[in-house]
Structure 1
């Protein structure tokens, strides 16, 4: 084994974040570490990378030798590199300068830039980089910057590379390229410790999966035993089937809550038609680039419609702005909660009340602070938002709690139609289960819900019906009188495989 951590504990003040955790990793494997937010994954990895110092009593062995890691330089000396979700690169420096950062080649106090660039070429070739040593990092995409981080780890001859949520900002094509590189590194004998909330990635890549829960080690599964159901059971202490609730019953109203007829934007969306009923959860699936988000933008007025029509509760509407759609009872939860949804430097209360605080303002313009506090407290309680205070900045919360804050703001608008775009992206299993509960409760209350998700198990678990997009069009519908809602049928429609007939409209 290349790494053995035993009896690792960490205390912050009076809070014990880790308690006697163990981890064993072998050379030439991808070892996933999973757990809900707050389970202790990042703390354990930061101890291994030298960012934190463990409590006395634990041991770390590298290649069987007891080592003491008292800082990042010490970790690097022992062959350990970590690639954080927020990449630690200097964008104003070249690729070569970043790879050598802290270990610059010099002679007589002069940095040998050409020498460093020349010696980086082999590493860049090994990782399949399509840029050069003298390229400035600011010119690179996020996926390319990630390659620079991996190149830096390889150049430092790391035996162990820790990757923390590496695919969060990558497209599916970029993620596939990263996976190919990880397999190559594994075959070359490098040990990769992989942290991700995405079950499909872990299931595809990991040779072993170790699970933490509430700061304690639960166990390790070999690849053959690491089924999604087994992993979830270890993470949350209950079965996968219990995550999804379908206690709601869609209404049989003759008039749909929302009807979309042949709408197009002339670019990404072409002639899409479907109906969404009160109390129904309708899934919208498709490959990346199929036009799912663009369709949502057309519905909520964030994108200009070139043709077609929409009806809300049987009345024709023509939204030109998101405000108009909101006034008509449509709320949209963006897939980019940090960039387009939340104000990270504002408090939980401010984010929840944003946009609706004028509803009960004195004289129509003086903020009713008491009502705002009550509204925030009610949202925190009903959505189980884990936060010390409503005055806590949203940027300090976990991804799941941030998502629930954004969702609570939308619910305060009292929507009749709710569009959720990737509602559980970057969210741990426990928070996912709570979001699924919220969606089911909304549907029971008569809200019509459209869920866009790239996770097929999520679509299947939540939706009463599923419509699938392919290349900007509705390729077909599954469930309720159509073919069964299965992964195979969704993929067949999304890719055009098989002989499934297209359906332009589904009721």
Structure 2
């Protein structure tokens, strides 16, 4: 094997935490190597060591047979290591060319910026990647997928021989993700070694050659993709077998109370008018391609986005939800797609995040809060939703993605909501934590909560939802339930609409 990278006995600790313990990773030239593990397993710490952002306490980094020490990120780049971060490192007000050559601008013989040469170099890289990027507009005007490809182009412009891809498909559509895989295969043919981090195990089997698994900061093992399966990988990651990711669906009564009735919702003057209802104790899925109108519909319901026409009843009573505060008063809470920027104040503690929308509950006077009562309530609700943390005063930024999501759920349960909207509830969450979130959702519906779940993951839609509203171009094309909820039907309605085949149930049969 032509080994290009070898990490041996990498160890790293932080105050009170053993982050990595004697980790081994070996990658061949032209190999796509998956790095798997639950959130908190040590993947990000290991990659930051490889990139020179962290320094290991022990162990060696060997590239092309030569032991290397990276004092900083620039040392790693000089050695041919590039990384495409999960959270983009691009400057939004600069264009793609300026981002790619930031800090290493090309100059002519007079010392002036050679913009035309940089533009040609960028154009050549994007042509190689097979993507079309407007090189003249600021990054903020590009789509998320285009920004992702700019990140990859930036790494390739650094002549990276070892490329780290950290959750690169998290915000891509299936078609965009497939294009990324085509690019990765081309890079592989050109000898680039890649470390691929993803929570989507089906992607691992599609594009990777070998897999290294970490658990709790320790090396679990390495295996060829062709010699393993999903069940074995999950067991390696979580240390136990997970028989089924999805809890069983309960049999809901046909006369279940309608808690939310959307009689008419038209987002724009010339747009379609949608109708649907949410029953007590059910999970109603919103499915469809990215941009199909799923999230926009949910935001319009709670008043976060304006609607041209909106006729809503909650528990049989007409409701005027002009903003999210009105929705909250009516018992509706939302777990936004971006929990870090929209759902949490990450620099606050768990207790502060859970209490922030309901401080009046603990107020003893205009100026004083009963902190003892607040702490007891926080401890109780943390236990109910299964938040795992040293204390309730732990900063939310230090929690895993799964525990952060549970903190958002705990906040709304603390506010006496009975309708919850989950927008991409398991995005960026590892397989073990996903199973916990799914179980928690079913426990909530068993206690009478009603849930709208927006998800781009078909297995999640099929495995969790009692009914599914399939969106296409802003319109609910079908309302599926029971045996009608299967992948092919969802995708047919999402891509071709109700005219493509026999309708299972239309949106007019919404109640």
TM-score by length of 2: 0.87
Secondary structure of 2:125's counterpart equals helix
Q: Is the 8 A contact 1:358 1:365 kept in 2?
A: no
Secondary structure of 2:322's counterpart equals coil
Q: Is the 8 A contact 1:228 1:240 kept in 2?
A: no
Pick aligned residue for 2:422 from 414, 420, 423: 420
Matched, 1:315 2:323: no
Distance 1:208 1:169 in 2: 24
Matched, 1:67 2:71: no
Give the Å deviation of 1:314: 2.9
Give the Å deviation of 1:129: 5.5
Q: Is the 8 A contact 1:477 1:506 kept in 2?
A: yes
Deviation track 1:300-355 (CA, whole Å, cap 9, x = no partner) reads 23344444633333333332232233222222222222332222333322221122
Change in 2 beyond 3 A, CA 1:282/1:364: farther
Give the Å deviation of 1:35: 0.9
Change in 2 beyond 3 A, CA 1:22/1:43: same
Aligned to 1:275: 277
Distance 1:92 1:316 in 2: 45
Distance 1:225 1:314 in 2: 56
Give the Å deviation of 1:442: 0.8
Aligned to 2:506: 503
Change in 2 beyond 3 A, CA 1:142/1:449: closer
Give the Å deviation of 1:103: 4.8
Give the Å deviation of 1:95: 4.9
Q: Is the 8 A contact 1:271 1:308 kept in 2?
A: no
Say how many residue pairs are matched: 503
Distance 1:297 1:427 in 2: 23
Pick aligned residue for 1:368 from 367, 370, 384: 370
Q: Counterparts of 1:115-134 in structure 2 under 5 Å?
A: 116-128=118-130, 130-131=132-133
Matched, 1:110 2:111: yes
Distance 2:303 2:92 in 1: 37
Matched, 1:212 2:214: yes
Q: Counterparts of 1:9-28 in structure 2 under 5 Å?
A: 9-13=11-15, 15-28=17-30
Secondary structure of 1:51's counterpart equals coil
Q: Is the 8 A contact 1:247 1:444 kept in 2?
A: no
Give the Å deviation of 1:16: 2.5
Distance 2:240 2:161 in 1: 36
Aligned to 1:442: 444
Distance 2:410 2:104 in 1: 48
Q: Is the 8 A contact 2:269 2:308 kept in 1?
A: no
Aligned to 1:475: 477
Distance 1:135 1:292 in 2: 28
Q: Is the 8 A contact 1:268 1:294 kept in 2?
A: no
Matched, 1:266 2:268: yes
Distance 2:481 2:134 in 1: 51
Give the Å deviation of 1:136: 6.2
Change in 2 beyond 3 A, CA 1:13/1:373: closer
Q: Counterparts of 1:328-407 in structure 2 under 5 Å?
A: 328-363=330-365, 366-407=368-409
Aligned to 1:76: 77
Distance 1:269 1:350 in 2: 41
Change in 2 beyond 3 A, CA 1:249/1:372: farther
TM-score by length of 1: 0.87
Distance 1:214 1:146 in 2: 29
Identify which range, 155-164 or 339-348, moves more after superposition.
Answer: 339-348
Q: Is the 8 A contact 1:9 1:19 kept in 2?
A: yes
Distance 1:455 1:123 in 2: 31
Distance 1:394 1:279 in 2: 30
Aligned to 2:433: 431
Q: Counterparts of 1:144-163 in structure 2 under 5 Å?
A: 144-163=146-165
Deviation track 1:67-87 (CA, whole Å, cap 9, x = no partner) reads 223333443343221222233
Aligned to 1:489: 489
Deviation track 1:457-497 (CA, whole Å, cap 9, x = no partner) reads 112222223232222222223333xx442222221222237
Give the Å deviation of 1:420: 1.3
Give the Å deviation of 1:436: 1.4
Identify which range, 106-115 or 336-345, moves more after superposition.
Answer: 106-115
Change in 2 beyond 3 A, CA 1:90/1:466: closer
Distance 1:260 1:138 in 2: 34
The CA RMSD measured in Å over matched residues stands at: 3.1
Q: Is the 8 A contact 1:333 1:406 kept in 2?
A: yes
Deviation track 1:225-259 (CA, whole Å, cap 9, x = no partner) reads 45443332221134454332237553444532223
